[in-house]
Amino acid sequence: SDLDTFIAGLPKAELHMHIEGSLEPELMFALAERNGVAIPFASVEEVRAAYSFSNLQDFLDIYYAGAGVLITAQDFHDLAAAYFARAAADNVRHAEIFFDPQTHTDRGIDLATVMEGLLSAIDEAAERHGVTARLILCFLRHLDEDAAFATLEAAEPWLDRITGVGLDSSEVGHPPAKFARVFAAARARGLRIVAHAGEEGPPEYVHEALDLLEIERLDHGNRALEDPALVVRLARSAMTFTVCPLSNLKLCVVDDIADHPLPRMLRQGLRVTINSDDPAYFGGYVNDNFRVLAAAGGIDRDDAVTLARNSFLGSFLPDDVVALHL
């Protein structure tokens, strides 16, 4: 449609994308072969057929297993290079990408290997596509806070190339409060702060992310809508929400894309952005996420402009660089 073409042409930033979640089945197969790693699938079609999830944990089990094919710096480079090519094709001009060090260090891959591959791909993307990128290190919330502290310490040599820290993995039962001390330590090192909250977890987790972690961006945040006073607070403070429509659909956070809360979020004056979360697992990159809402009548042309503008406003780029994108 005309709206799809308009959306595709809009320059945008992507603020919520897990690089491990951009591992397409074809690359998973190629890396499994290259590294002699066994995967429990006979074909790319079988992998895709396994991508039917009833909740976040269902997905995470497959996502962590898939990441097991990533062994060398070249693997991490190829993974990120493939994402940047797809992002550039969607007119993404800037990406702030999540990575999960513990998923790799816990299976014996050095953080140096991960960083070497990701950083070389970031440098290449700037030259090849003119796409700028930043890294956000995520702590896995199903693990304990000591493990998060160890990860922050291990990352010390690269903190000049890590913009911020985030919090991801299994939400319910792992509230932000569990990580208050390690986020304080990250803030003390000058890192920017984000967290997944209110994806499956209750509005109380969003309050904790604000008050205890001091988040500067809210990843997902859907369930904040259940608490009207919280919505007012988030609107007044111009908190950026990184919303992921296809993810919400595939993880059964919403039953139907026509019922997705994003249009309501916009109407309530929230600074919403659209993102792909784990594009290889949820059926699309950032433009697909815009398009699915457009097709359901949830967003129009003006909304698309607002959403793209919000993506730069909500980024961690300096104000003068943001202004160049607007």
Q: Binding site residues for Zn(2+), as ranges?
A: 16, 18, 196, 277
Binding-site annotation: residue ranges: 16, 18, 196, 277-278
Which of ligand ADE, Zn ion, none has residue 17 at its interface (CB below 5 to 8 Å by kind)?
Answer: none
Whole-angstrom CA distances from 88 to 12, 23, 134, 186, 300 are 10, 17, 15, 31, 23
Residue number, 168 or 208, with CB nearest to Zn ion:
168
Contact set with ligand ADE (CB under 6 A)? 18, 21, 56, 63, 168-169, 196, 199, 247, 277-278
If the CB atoms of residues 75 and 171 are measured against ligand ADE, the closer one turns out to be 171
Q: Shortest CA distance to 152 belongs to which of 181, 128, 130, 132? A: 181
Contact of residue 22 among Zn ion, ligand ADE, none (CB under 5-8 Å per partner type): none
Calpha distance 148→279 (Å, rounded): 26
Tell me 252's DSSP state: T
Q: How many CB atoms lie within 10 A of CB 215?
A: 26
96 binds Zn ion (CB under 5 A): no
How far apart are alpha carbons 266 and 159 in whole angstroms? 35
285 is in the binding site of which of ligand ADE, Zn ion, none (Cβ under 5 to 8 A by kind)? none
Residue 166 CB, shortest distance to Zn ion, in Å, is 8
In angstroms, what is the minimal distance from the CB of 43 to Zn ion? 27
Instruction: Please tell me the distance from the alpha carbon of residue 101 to that of residue 110, in angstroms, as a whole number.
Output: 9
CB of 277 within 8 A of CB of 17?
Answer: yes
Beta carbon of residue 251, minimum distance to ligand ADE (angstroms, whole number) = 7
List phi, psi (to 5°) of 210: -70, -50
**Shortest Å distance, C-beta 21 to ligand ADE:** 5
- Closest CB to ligand ADE among residues 169, 310: 169
204 labelled catalytic = no
Q: Does 277 bind Zn ion (CB under 5 A)?
A: yes
- Name the token pair of 168: 């991801």
Q: Among the options 14, 171, 199, 200, which is catalytic?
A: 199
Describe the crossing of helices 286-295 and 301-313 by its angle, rounded to 10 degrees.
150
Q: Would you say 263 and 295 are in contact if contact means Cβ atoms under 8 Å apart?
A: no
Catalytic sites, residue numbers: 199
What is the binding site for Zn ion (CB under 5 A)?
A: 277
